[in-house]
Every structure is written in structure tokens, then in C-alpha cells.
Amino acid sequence: MDGQPDDSDPAAAVERAQWERARRVRQDHDDEVQRQAEARVAAEPPPPPEGSSRRVAVIALALALVFVVAAAVMLVVVRHRSSQQPAWVAQLGLDKSASGSADAPSRLGTPGAGTTPVDPGGTVPGGTEVPATAGPADAPQIVTTGEDFDHVYRQIETLEGWLLIHPDPSRVADIYQPGTAPYDDLVNQLTDLESAHQTLHVENYRIVGVTVDQRPAPDQVILRYADTYTDAVTVAETTGAVVSRAPYDGRARLWTLTLQRGDDGRWRVAATAFVQYGDVPAA
């Protein structure tokens, strides 16, 4: 016997019909499951050709190598540039060996041993008197981001010169790296000027050249620059009277200066060092 109901019995015939319906339902279910499985297989993307994964890995590795080589080339170019002295170095006589006959000067022209007191009622050289009632001028808007380091440093000097005339120690962090010696020096100088109600005018100050010396890291650059000025004049803030004058002979001064880029993308002075004196070319 095959397990199916006997057709000779009416009850058995009914049971067989029920069994047949159940079998068809089960078969229909199995067929649907099979169709869904085939549909899923058809929807899947075809497997990559043999060796394509390896080609993708090779391409990715090649791109990474190209990036590394490009970065290395850029560093070599920067080092090569730094080994080539710009024309102004020789023009100012800074390509000669340092004489070492003088102590390092004050970078900001702070009056020192050569300071000459001025009688009350004097004015800033050139006849420009600082009005007693003059209100604080707006600070210059500077941009110290990007890779044009000549521009960046001149922008820093613009704000620094303004701060000497409008002492505000809280603004030093805009251009100097907190926690460094140059930062502390400028804060102390501005604090002293502010306490004494005085301003410092570095007369005829100008930067005569800036060049990249080294690029130790993406966020650090060491510059060489030369500057000059004539007199450092201390002025009483309330009266505009000249308190003292420290004259300078106008020789070019060569410095190294380290800039550090912060998280905000702005470069700040982190270190300075005097190198030697040079000559200022005739106008």
C-alpha cells in the first residue's frame, strides 16, 4: 500500500481528495520558495572576474605611492629653495660671516643703554605729535593663514607695530604662540607700556626681505628675514610728549624666526634669534 486512501470507500475518497489538496498546497509552497531563491540569485551582481580584486589593490597602492612621492618632492623643493640665498641677502651684505662684535639687539627696538631722555614737550621725530585726546584706533584686520610666508610675516608685523602704539597684552596671542619666550617678551613689554601710560614708536621700521629657511613639519616653518629702523621713541600716552629716544644706525639685521600653525589655521611666532648685522642698500 502507498499510504493513500482507498477509492472504493466514499469516506476514503473524501480523505483522498483532502490529501491531494494538501499535497498541492505543499508543492505550491515549495515552488514559491524555489522561485524566490532563483530571483535572489539573479539579482546578485555577477562575481568579479578573476584577478580584478588584485588589480583594485594594485591601483590603490599605486595612488598611495604617487601621493607619498609628491609629498617628498615638495619637501625637496622647499629644502632646495632654502639652500638658495635670495638676492637681498647678498645685497645687504648678509652673505658674509658674522662679525660677532656686538650683542644681540632688541628685535622690537626697545630703548636700552643708548636711550636719550627728551625734555617734556617734545614730539615724535618728524613733527608728528600724538594728540592727548586721541581715542584708540581700530586694530588692523590681518590675515595670517596660507603658504605665502612673506605676506604672513608682514601681516604679523603690522599688528605688532599697532600694539606697540596701542598696548593691549590680550591681543598678543593673535600673532605669538602662548607659552613661548617671544610671547612672554611682548606681553611683558606691552604690560609695562600700558602701566606707564606710554607708547613705543619704532620709527621708519621696514622689513627688507623674507625667505623660507626650513620646513621641519607641515605646521612649522623657519624663516629668515632682515629688517631696519631708525629711532625707538617712547611717548607719553596722555600728552603726546616724547619721553625718550633710542637712536639706531640703520644697519640691516638678519633674524631667524619660527612660525607655528595653530588649529585655527593661523600662523604665530614661536621663536626668534638674531643672526648678524648687514648693510642697507642706498636708496
Q: Do 11 and 100 sit in the same domain of this protein?
A: no
pLDDT tier at 121, thresholds 50, 70, 90: very low
DSSP string, 199-257: EEEETT-EEEEEEEEEEEETTEEEEEEEEE-SEEEEEETTT--EEEEEE-----EEEEE
Longest Cα–Cα distance in the chain: 142
Distance CA 157, CA 239 (A): 26
Taking a C-beta distance cutoff of 8 angstroms, is the pair 222, 192 a contact?
no
Residue 216 included in any domain? yes
Distance CA 184, CA 161 (A): 16
Does the pLDDT value for residue 100 go beyond 90? no
pLDDT tier at 127, thresholds 50, 70, 90: very low
**Other Cβ atoms within 10 Å of 188 Cβ, number:** 12
Q: Do 146 and 71 sit in the same domain of this protein?
A: no
Q: Do 116 and 178 sit in the same domain of this protein?
A: yes
pLDDT tier at 160, thresholds 50, 70, 90: very high
Secondary element (H or E) of residue 271: strand 267-277
Residue 148 included in any domain? yes
Does the pLDDT value for residue 120 go beyond 50? no
Distance CA 242, CA 247 (A): 13
pLDDT in tens, 179-210: 999 999 999 999 999 999 999 999 999 999 99
Q: Do 131 and 216 sit in the same domain of this protein?
A: yes
Q: Do 64 and 96 sit in the same domain of this protein?
A: no
Sign (positive or negative) of CA dihedral 125, 128, 133, 135: negative
Q: Do 138 and 154 sit in the same domain of this protein?
A: yes
How far out from the chain centre does Cα 3 lie? 88
203-223 average pLDDT score: 93
Residue 195 included in any domain? yes
**Among 33-47, 144-158, 159-173, which is the least confidently predicted range?**
33-47
Q: Do 211 and 117 sit in the same domain of this protein?
A: yes
pTM more than 0.75: no
Residues spanned by the domain of 18: 1-34
Inter-CA distances, 281 with 92, 156, 252, 278, Å? 6, 25, 9, 10
Residue 43 included in any domain? no
DSSP 198: E
Does the pLDDT value for residue 96 go beyond 70? no
Least Cα distance to 97 among 225, 279, 276 occurs for 276
10-23 average pLDDT score: 73
Residue 41 included in any domain? no
Least Cα distance to 110 among 237, 248, 5, 11 occurs for 248
Q: Do 102 and 127 sit in the same domain of this protein?
A: yes
96-120 average pLDDT score: 56
Return the pLDDT at 2.
54
pLDDT tier at 273, thresholds 50, 70, 90: very high
Q: Which of helix, strand or coil describes residue 130?
A: coil
Q: Higher-confidence residue: 55 or 228? A: 228
How far out from the chain centre does Cα 92 lie? 30
Residue 201 included in any domain? yes
Residue 25 included in any domain? yes
Return the pLDDT at 129.
47
Q: Higher-confidence residue: 138 or 177? A: 177
Taking a C-beta distance cutoff of 8 angstroms, is the pair 135, 216 a contact?
no
pLDDT tier at 248, thresholds 50, 70, 90: confident
Q: Do 5 and 73 sit in the same domain of this protein?
A: no
Distance CA 267, CA 145 (A): 6
Q: Return the amino acid letter for 100.
A: G
Q: Do 64 and 77 sit in the same domain of this protein?
A: yes
Residue 282 included in any domain? no
Inter-CA distances, 181 with 132, 173, 188, 271, Å? 33, 12, 11, 7
Return the pLDDT at 123.
46
Q: Do 100 and 12 sit in the same domain of this protein?
A: no
> How many structural domains comprise the chain?
3
Return the pLDDT at 117.
53
Does the pLDDT value for residue 4 go beyond 80? no
Q: Do 231 and 118 sit in the same domain of this protein?
A: yes
Secondary element (H or E) of residue 258: strand 253-261
**Residue partners of 191: CB distance under 8 A and separation at least 6:** 167, 169
Return the pLDDT at 281.
62
